[in-house]
Amino acid sequence: MKIAIGADHRGFLQKEYIRSIMQPYVWYDVGAYTIERSDYPIFSQKVCEYVLSSRAERGVLLCGTGVGMAIAANRYTKIYAAVAWNIEVAIKSREDDWSNVLVLPSDYITNDQAIAIIDAWLQAKPRTGRYQDRIAMIDALPHK
């Protein structure tokens, strides 16, 4: 599986750890590349572009709380970014809400938790029926 991954300075070290441990996956690292201060919207945009162009099947973003990255990512049509701080939330975000971008709050989870959360999310499958209907309703919302 091909996954785009990006982080600001607060998520940088965890991003590096994830890429080093989760080797069976092809990671497209869009930055940041150092712990120097950086701005999360830049990396959110790059990950979303990879997912929307199908260069990556999914995306992972990391920042301090995850909130800024999720807000920025969800500006894009057909991006369903979800902040997950545990395995259960990650699985439900994929099954029920079809998340295609996982956002991790690096300041609040350990490296091992991050690996477990990503692994569970990557294994989860979107549900059809009413869950798919809700995604269609979201996609039909007007852009304002």
- Residues recorded for the chain: 144
Structure-derived torsion over alpha carbons of residues 69, 22, 113, 58, reported in degrees to the nearest 10: 30
55 CB-near residues (< 8 Å, 6+ apart): 2, 4, 28
Instruction: Please indicate whether residue 48 is annotated as part of the active site.
Output: no
DSSP state of 142: P
Question: Nearest Cα to 2, choosing from 65, 54, 66, 63?
Answer: 54
Please check whether residue 10 is in contact with residue 64, taking contact to mean a CB–CB distance below 8 angstroms: yes
- In angstroms, the CA 31 to CA 57 distance is 18
**φ/ψ (deg, to 5) at 20:** -75, -30
Catalytic residue among 63, 101, 104, 122: 63
Catalytically active residues are 63
